[in-house]
Structure 1
Amino acid sequence: MRIVFAVCLIIATFLTHAQTNVESDPNQVIHSVSVNTFARINADKEKLQAQPDHIRVIIEEQLIPYFDYKFAAYKVMGSHLKNTTREQRDQFVEAFKTYLINAYGHILFEYDQQEVEILDNRHFQGKRIITIPVKIRDKNDNITQIAFKLRKNKKTGEWKVFDVIAEGISMLDTKQSELNELIHKHGVDYVITLLEKKNSEF
């Protein structure tokens, strides 16, 4: 649980204002927005206490626009992607996006002033995919090692996160392994329905 929370903490830390820095150093993007999402959470604390579902609004506005959920969803589908219709792909992407909103919202609701240390990656020039390591220190002085994989859109120059590696474990690879097997056994429509069911239970 500590690792999963740390993942969400760091995603929230740097995604808020990435849109205004689409051509800039991705490390500077991370540093420049390190307080924004949590300032929003703190500002909306009373509203969150009265309406816990408001965390989803914060996630939708602050995180999702800067998370390449479509690319991540396609990676999760893997080789099955080519056997799907456009409608199935759109439904899967939407269900996957909602799953992310719910999952991150559930965990970010527990935010409690963790410290974030970003370890800059200075070797990003000319690359489309980079990894940025981060350390999370909680109030008990526990440290969680995180690495974020970002992808640069060749048309817009915008950097977006598509995978998170927590203590050496890729969340994208884990989800791909889990859902790929289900798609293979039951088909993509079954997995879409499964995701939608999980989303309705949050």
Structure 2
Amino acid sequence: MKRLFAFLFAALMLAPAVQAAEAPDVLIRRLSTEMIDRIRADEQLQSGNLARMSELVDSVLMPHVNFQRMTALAVGRNWRGASPEQQKQLMTEFRALLLRTYAGALASAKDQSVRMKPMRADPADKEVIVRSEVVQPRGGEPIQLDYRLEKAGDGWKVFDVNVLGVWLVQTYRSQFAQEVSANGIDGLIRSLVEKNRSAGAAGTR
């Protein structure tokens, strides 16, 4: 699961700024192609260099992902009850959690390719689903990889991803709801901080 997540988010990070007129399926195809090309050409990305990945996130990820909406959806109804500072902390820690998940497994994407599925959407739609498959080397079973995107003023933004039939936001929403129910928003923040700290310590050994 972590390797699949690595692949899909690397696709979003390793691309130039999106043009507003670019169709959502064209965007995903371009990002995926760019991701593969960059990984094949960069040994640091293949090794999952976290510092390099962080630089890429800061400079290019946010134009392609509505990360605030993604975090709010993952936190669910508890998001509105969080203070602005708590919301900021949740976004910071959730981003770090996702980053560490794919950074450590980035090298696994270097031999894969992406096959797009037919787009089923109306030109007037404000939200769409772009469906694709990750094609494995040596004839392995293709991996379902779908994106939910919303139409914004400066282009399409990703706000959820489906891997093997499981939507990422829904998966985290269940986990986060349990933590908030037991320990409140601050407890969820502490839990994310601890997970990121533990993952960081493991990565330095």
How far residue 26 of structure 1 moved from its aligned partner, in angstroms, is 1.2
CA distance in 2, matches of 1:122, 1:16: 26
Structure 2 counterpart of 1:149: 148
Structure 1 counterpart of 2:99: 101
Structure 1 counterpart of 2:165: 168
**Residue identity opposite 1:145 in structure 2:** Q
How far residue 72 of structure 1 moved from its aligned partner, in angstroms, is 0.8
How far residue 105 of structure 1 moved from its aligned partner, in angstroms, is 1.1
Give 1:176-195 correspondences, 5 Å limit: 176-195=173-192
Structure 2 counterpart of 1:38: 36
CA distance in 2, matches of 1:50, 1:97: 16
Query: In the alignment, does 2:68 pair up with 1:73?
Result: no
How far residue 199 of structure 1 moved from its aligned partner, in angstroms, is 1.3
Question: What runs of 5+ residues in structure 1 fail to find an aligned partner?
Answer: none
Instruction: Describe the superposition over 1:146-199 as per-residue Cα deviations: whole angstroms up to 9, x where unpaired.
Output: 21111222xx24212111112221111010011111112100111111111111
CA contact (8 A) 2:13 2:57 kept: no
How far residue 43 of structure 1 moved from its aligned partner, in angstroms, is 2.8
Name the Cα RMSD after superposition: 2.5
CA contact (8 A) 1:15 1:30 kept: no
TM-score, with structure 1 as normaliser = 0.84
CA contact (8 A) 1:163 1:171 kept: yes
CA distance in 2, matches of 1:46, 1:158: 30
Moved over 6 A (4+): none
How far residue 59 of structure 1 moved from its aligned partner, in angstroms, is 4.5
TM-score, with structure 2 as normaliser = 0.83
**Residue identity opposite 1:139 in structure 2:** P
**Residue identity opposite 1:87 in structure 2:** E
Q: 1:61 to 1:197 in 2, by over 3 A?
A: same
Structure 1 counterpart of 2:81: 83
Question: What runs of 5+ residues in structure 2 fail to find an aligned partner?
Answer: 200-205
CA contact (8 A) 1:116 1:134 kept: yes
> Residue 108 of structure 2: SS of its match in structure 1?
coil
Structure 1 counterpart of 2:202: none
CA distance in 1, matches of 2:41, 2:58: 16
Q: 1:61 to 1:201 in 2, by over 3 A?
A: farther
Aligned residues: 198
Q: 1:113 to 1:59 in 2, by over 3 A?
A: farther
How far residue 34 of structure 1 moved from its aligned partner, in angstroms, is 3.2
Which among 107, 116, 119 is matched to residue 117 of structure 2?
119
